Structure 1
Amino acid sequence: MTADPSTHQLRLLLVLAEELHFGRAAQRLFISQPAFSRQIRALEERLGVTLVKRSTRRVELTPAGEALLPQVRAVVDAVDGLRGAVKAQARPGPDRVVLGSYVSGLPTLRILLDRLRTHHPCPELELRAVGPVDQVSALLNGDADAVICYGPMPEGIRTLPLETEPRFVCLPDTHPLADREAVTLAELAGLPVIGFPPHVSKVWRNFWAADPRPDGTPVRYTEHAGATLEACISLVSLGHGIRFISESGRDLMPRPGVRFIAVTDLPPCTALLAWPASRPASPALTSFLAAIRSHLRTTGDADNGMNPLPIRINESL
């Protein structure tokens, strides 16, 4: 091995191992395919081992590539954990929980913030805006102690289910299906889905694109990548594709030029409280989790005279 590999090169290998296609992997990371290939070859030269079998028809990892993949993932996770630890050292307030969320109108979030009462002392909550693209990295990097989000989450993230909601398809109001009350996934076959930024986890992307469809057909994505809910709805209104959305998201996003249609055979989504498994929960987060679990066990939401959780809003993310 002539030199240590860069974390960037290791991340490229992880994406290639997921896609098994240089073109798709490069597109996912918004770099050219030749540049992507050069980085993988440079990684192989630095490690002194062939990691990928290349042919005109397919790409697959070599036995050495398969064997080294867990270590590669461990190195990348360790770097992310180091970044999180550094940020945690700079974060003020050991009795404060930094709670990220990208859906401020989620009913579950409103209940937790407006009605959560407990007999036990709770830490102060600092709310930070965390987009769906950044929710996992916010946890791994230490930008948030926990996030309220929609699943599914990738490995390495612990979750507590909060609420289940149906999903809808967002269509341009000029589409022939726009006046329907409900549709099936088969009726949406062939319609391109607004793309996702490259660092969205594959498990999350596949769920929110319904990819593959029930008959095994892969989804076709547009070249447009929507990083926020607002951006996705705007792209749909311009006729660039479709996007699936939660019921709460539908209620938050009444926009001209689009329609939200129920999809009868689309599995529901689940709102989650998520936090990283890579580091121990702080005493403040442990207290917060206990308060939420107590709240979820409570029947009814009547005010019991307790004081609400102290909230401080931070829109820095």
Structure 2
Amino acid sequence: KERVLITGGGGYFGFRLGCAIYQKGVDVILFDVVKPLQTLPEGIKFVQGDICCLSEVEEALRDVICVFHIASYGMSGREQLNRKLIEDVNVKGTENVIQACKSRGVSSLVYTSTYNVVFGGQIIENGDESLPYLPLHLHPDHYSRTKSLAEMKVLEANSAELGNGRGVLRTCALRPAGIYGPGEQRHLPRIVSYIERGLFKFVYGDPLSLVEFVHVDNLVQAHVLASAALRASKQHIAAGQAYFISDGRPVNNFEFFRPLVEGLGYKFPTLRLPLSLVYFFAFLTEIVHFLVGRVYNFQPLLTRTEVYKTGVTHYFSMEKARKELGYEPQQYSLDEVVE
């Protein structure tokens, strides 16, 4: 039986991916510092470990043929402001995963990256994979900067010799939009808490601005296809490549969340503030957090990156993923999530 390992397998997406792959008759190991919140289906193995510790990763990679490297830190909220941990997990952790794949003879590595590697607040309409990385010093947050560095390292490791003389490592990177889906635990509860605490009193930015989201099951599909596209049977077509992944339906950020607001029985705000004002407010919040965060690690209402991600148009073409991976996003909406 084939065996795959998922770093960050205790998280929302990693767990969903693991369950989907297990149903295809593949052995699955979920590797994470924290246990999944959900009950483990029988047959799926959970290994508690930290990607920051090379020996723990190497130990877990026995007889594994493919690694899905999802584990990361600092995506949103106050986590975004802990620079040292972000660096350790996203950069050093990724170096450890690559190193362990090589020493253990793992032939495929699929890296879960982010739109942010090319986006830093500039308008992007129907962008594609020919766009250059955003220069590292232009990232408004450390998470995006470290995810860029990590993606570069993963793609550079493509074609690296495997330690056991069993051929080479093939790698690719998927760059998802914001993830949503039933039971999502990172963004939705935070948004719901803002709505319920009466903090969602305004929207901001151009009402015609467009961003993208990806349903968890579309992202699962993309990862399964990407791992297949690293194999000889598909001529290793994805090797060394990056792919943008979304539902393929650009939408205004606030309109996307309208069913959630109204589904919870609240009125949708009519007050619209300029993006620059909200960005300035986020900047001030980050300064305050920098000053008092050690004593009082509060959750910022918004960080600068979140203002950009939600208020500035950036969406991408799915053409490359469709053509090379066979990716076909299914249609979902937030309505099922609200229920």
TM-score (norm 2): 0.23
Higher relative contact order, chain-length normalized (CA < 8 Å, sep 6+): 1
Q: Which has the larger radius of gyration?
A: 1
TM-score (norm 1): 0.24
